[in-house]
């Protein structure tokens, strides 16, 4: 394990080996820190420079809220989101006429 220090925070770099079936072992320290217990699901998110592994929320409502944040900009209120949806629907209907 390599540790780099940036101010008061440190970033640990863990190296794991990929086995024949694509399996990797997440180090115990990380499993404990992120409550990754056997049977818990994680999301694999492709990034330009690698793969991000994120624990899935145990509460599906929390996960849905997170997905909404990825789809809609945070600077839009729910009222503005509804207005935008209506605008898009109206546009699509007018195109079909």
Pair 14, 25: CB distance under 8 Å = no
Q: Determine whether 81 is exposed, middle or buried from the number of CB atoms within 10 Å of its CB (0-12, 13-18, 19+).
A: middle
Q: How confident is the model at residue 3 (pLDDT cuts 50, 70, 90)?
A: very low
Pair 30, 36: CB distance under 8 Å = yes
Question: What residues does each domain of the chain span?
Answer: 18-56, 57-97
* CATH number of the structural domain 18-56: 2.10.260
Torsion, CA 68, CA 73, CA 79, CA 84, rounded to 10: -100
Q: What digits encode the pLDDT tens for the residues 55-87?
A: 887 776 766 776 666 666 667 777 887 888 888
pLDDT cut 90: percent of the chain above it? 22
């Amino acid at each position: 394990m390599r540790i780099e220090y940036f101010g008061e925070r440190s970033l640990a770099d863990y190296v794991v080996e990929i086995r024949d079936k694509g399996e990797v072992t997440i180090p115990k320290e990380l499993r404990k820190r992120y409550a990754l217990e056997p049977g818990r699901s994680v999301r694999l998110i492709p990034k330009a420079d690698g793969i991000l592994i994120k624990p899935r929320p145990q509460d599906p409502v929390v996960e849905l809220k997170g997905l909404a944040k990825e789809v809609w900009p945070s600077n839009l209120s729910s009222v503005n989101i509804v207005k935008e949806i209506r605008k898009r629907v109206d546009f699509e209907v007018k195109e079909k006429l």
